[in-house]
Amino acid sequence: MFRSDDYDVSGGYCDSDVNSGSDRESMEEGSCYVDIKNKAHGRKLLAELASQRKNGEFLDVVVQVEGRDFPCHRAVLASTTYFKTMLSSNFTESTTKAVQLHGIDSSSFSKILDFLYTGEIRIRKDDVQDVLQTAHMLRFDTILQYCKKFIQDNLCPNNCLGVLRLAHMYDDLSDLKKSARTMTVSNFSDATQDEEFLSLSLEDLLDLLGDEDLKAEDDVVNSVIRWLDHAPESRQTAILKILPEIRLSCVKVSVLRKLESHPTIRDSAECVAKITAAREKHLSGTQVVNVTEKEEARSNRRGVSDNLAIIVGGWKAVNKPHLRDNNESEPLPVHPSPGPLQSIICLDPDNQQYYHIANLPTPVNGYMGVANAGEHLYVTGGREKRLIGKGPHPSPSRQAFRYHFPSDMWLRLPDIPLGRAGHQSVVVDGKLLLVGGDTEETSLVTMDCYDPDEAAWIKLPVPPTLFTQSFTKMTMTAFGDNVVFITVTPTESERLFNLCVHLFDVKTNGWRKADTFFGNAWAMVPDVFLPTSSNGKLYIRAVYTATSHYSEQFIFDDEKETLNCDDKQYFIDDFLRARREYHYFSTKGKEIVDTISNYGSGNNYFPKKCAPLPFALFGQSFLEIHKSRVGWYCRDLAVLKEEDE
């Protein structure tokens, strides 16, 4: 039966009546022709050859692999480059009826041979590497590409080390090698649980440990210990080459003790000395002496942050706010939980995990001031209950506490002279200064100072007009021996703001200031981020609080007492910041923060959102601190889960 879908027919017609038996000249003159392409013919031919192979008909060669015979057609084999070369007249195999293949898996060859006859092959996880190796040896690129795609699609932390080792064997698997290495480094803890890791050579292990994109140094050490224990006798001296690849300054004290007690370490005085020095540095909070510049430069891997986001107190919401089904921008209402958070938690941006640090030793639950001084956190003021409605509200608290991070100990300080809530706090020259917020007795902006040497709150000179003027934004930070107040004040022009830096020298009690004008076409109120300092200069980033994601950077030069816009707009540091998103309860509107963002260096304002909290939160205090200064590596903290709090 003629099937139109099996044929392509094309042709032309002429005036003369010419049949298919006409000579070439008459065909050309009359332009009469018909081209027929039978699409089914190739399929039928392939099916016929497969049938002949199955029935043992017209087979003229036998391929022998691992003791198995594979009778087949010489012509079918010669359709591949490998066998066409082998069966040519220049080789012995061209005249023999049996061809032997060595170093090839017979099951894989059987699948490849079936593919030649049928165009179909089934690749499984348990045989894909054998099929790939066979296809590579037989130079069968089509099946090689199938195997590569199959491996790529099924790449996971449990098999990436095996894939990496496989890719090392072949030059044409460079893309697969890159993907496997990236997954191994990104999921080092899970990847090294595979038995494949234990059989790595020292050279391959060092290659992985030297990767600058590794982040979890504790996992690195634990994996190294497992590798050493797998063959302790043959790997006893390997630690001398391995230890320089470990960033000891980023390893927790508990893990350092585990490494320090390992038999291979105890046999090396040099290794013991390095690990002991790193451990003592963490416990004492001081810098290790006699560290070379090379060692100091390699203290952290690429992308590893020294930042830590601290969140203190606040109240939880039962559910996170989310958008309505019709994609409206207004979120669904959420209802606050009756209980407070009543603890200090933190976010480690390296692994995007939240941890529980300590419980608050006070019934005050939110709106507290938080400041950092080395291994200490100061927690001051706040309110016992959340603000609902217009009031009247209970007076803010006068309580003050100091928390020692490494020992997990609280110290009650003398009460603040004036109860405060929602204020800012900073430590300069060892002294704690509190500014602004809601106070008990006055609507003016005031400042209190606690001197730990005297264990008392001391009086400061009468503040300047800074505390009587009206401003839109104020940010307080430390800068050397100065407390810096950065204010943003609108001007008569709708699109212009005044940025002012006020400096209070804690030692001399003197005041200085510098200001400049700035603005942009959007005319949105800017939000001044916590600045960073370097080489006697203060770098201030002002970000406009709109969807424009536009920012500017200003430099305050302490020596010249000038404040100017940074033309290069090179942001010298990365930092974390709480992103405040406004949602509404069924009763009164309240502010909820359920996310923290990482603001990286660059020319524009493009925050990278960090892992969301397990619960929505409002009324909390936020602070960015440094792991290396607070004693982060001295303790093992529990990962925060919603049911834990």
> Do 568 and 479 reside in the same domain of the chain?
yes
Sign, CA torsion 336/341/344/348? negative
Which pLDDT belongs to residue 46? 86
Q: Rounded to 5 degrees, what angle do the CA atoms 628, 399, 455 make? A: 70
> Which has more pLDDT, 589 or 486?
486
Output the pLDDT for position 345.
94
Question: Same structural domain for residues 350 and 285?
Answer: no
What CATH number should be reported for the domain holding residue 107? 3.30.710.10
Confidence (pLDDT) at 170: 86
- Residue closest to 423 by CA, chosen among 447, 451, 442: 447
**What CA–CA distance (Å, rounded) separates 195 from 197?**
5
Q: What is the DSSP string of 129-151?
A: HHHHHHHHHTT-HHHHHHHHHHH
Q: What CATH number corresponds to the domain at position 362?
A: 2.120.10.80
Q: What digits encode the pLDDT tens for the residues 264-276?
A: 999 899 999 999 9
Q: Does residue 270 sit in the same domain as residue 145?
A: no
Q: Which tens digits make up the pLDDT trace of 482-524?
A: 998 888 887 777 677 888 889 999 888 888 889 988 775 444 4
Percent of the chain residues topping a pLDDT of 90 = 46
Q: Which of 422, 445, 460 has the alpha carbon at shortest distance from 580?
A: 422
- Give start and end residues of each alpha helix (H) in 535-612: none
- Asked if 598 and 246 count as a contact pair (C-beta separation under 8 A), the reply is no
Q: Is the same domain home to 177 and 260?
A: no
Q: Is residue 519 part of a domain?
A: yes
27 assigned to some structural domain? no
The CATH number for 229's domain is: 1.25.40.420
Residue 21 within a domain? no
Nearest to 388 by CA among 617, 580, 585, 620: 585
| pLDDT, tens only, 57-80 | 999 999 999 999 999 999 999 999
Same structural domain for residues 233 and 141?
no
Identity at 38, one-letter amino acid code: N
Nearest Cα neighbor of 482 from 501, 500, 468 is 501
CA distances for 369 relative to 94, 364, 393, 427, 484, angstroms: 88, 12, 18, 12, 17
Instruction: Report the pLDDT value the prediction gives residue 352, as an integer from 0 to 100.
Output: 87
Same domain as 239, residue 171: no
Q: Output the CA–CA distances (angstroms, integers) from residue 123 to 129, 146, 161, in the order listed.
A: 9, 9, 20
Residues 6+ apart with CB under 8 A from 370: 310, 312, 377, 378, 379, 380, 425, 621, 622, 623
Work out the pLDDT band at 466, boundaries 50, 70, 90: confident
Give how many domains the chain has, as a whole number.
Answer: 3
Ranges 149-163, 302-316, 571-585, most confident: 149-163
For the residues 374-386, what does the mean pLDDT come to? 93
Residues 359 and 340: their CA atoms lie apart, in Å, by 11
Q: Is residue 160 part of a domain?
A: yes
Q: 224 and 369 in one domain?
A: no
Q: How far apart are CA 483 and CA 461, in angstroms?
A: 14
* Residue 614 pLDDT: 80
Instruction: Name the phi and psi angles at 433, rounded to 5.
Output: -120, 135
Residues 364 and 510 in one domain: yes
- Whether residue 622 is contained in a domain is answered as yes
pLDDT of 131: 95
Domain co-membership, 483 together with 612:
yes
The one-letter code for the residue type at 99 is V
Q: Are residues 499 and 519 in the same domain?
A: yes
| Whether the predicted pLDDT of 373 surpasses 70 | yes
Q: Would you mind telling me the total number of residues written for the chain in this entry?
A: 645
Helix, strand, or coil here: 631? coil
Q: With 50 as the cut, is the pLDDT of residue 27 above it?
A: no
Whether 22 is in a domain gets the answer no
530 touches 539 (CB < 8 A): no
Final residue of a structural domain among 150, 182, 214: 182
Residue 351: how many other CB atoms lie within 10 Å: 14
Provide the percentage of residues in the chain whose pLDDT is more than 70: 76
Which band of pLDDT confidence, cut at 50, 70 and 90, is reported for residue 38?
A: confident
Q: What is the mean pLDDT of the chain?
A: 81
Of 297, 318, 342, the residue that ends a domain is 297
Domain-ending residue, one of 135, 150, 182: 182
Residue 284 in any domain: the answer is: yes
Q: Is residue 90 part of a domain?
A: yes
What is the 3-state secondary structure of 237-279? HHHHHHHHHCCHHHCCHHHHHHHHCCHHHHCCHHHHHHHHHHH
For residue 142, give its domain range: 41-182
* Torsion sign across C-alpha atoms 112, 113, 115, 116: positive
- In this structure, what DSSP letter does residue 491 have? -
- Taking residues 337-348, what's their average pLDDT? 84
Encode 198-248 in three state secondary structure: HCCCHHHHHHHHCCCCCCCHHHHHHHHHHHHHHCCCCCHHHHHHHHHHCCH
Q: Which of 630, 594, 609 is nearest to 314 (CA)?
A: 594
245 with 175, same domain: the answer is no
Residues 593 and 512 in one domain: yes
Kindly state the average pLDDT of the residues 434-441. 84
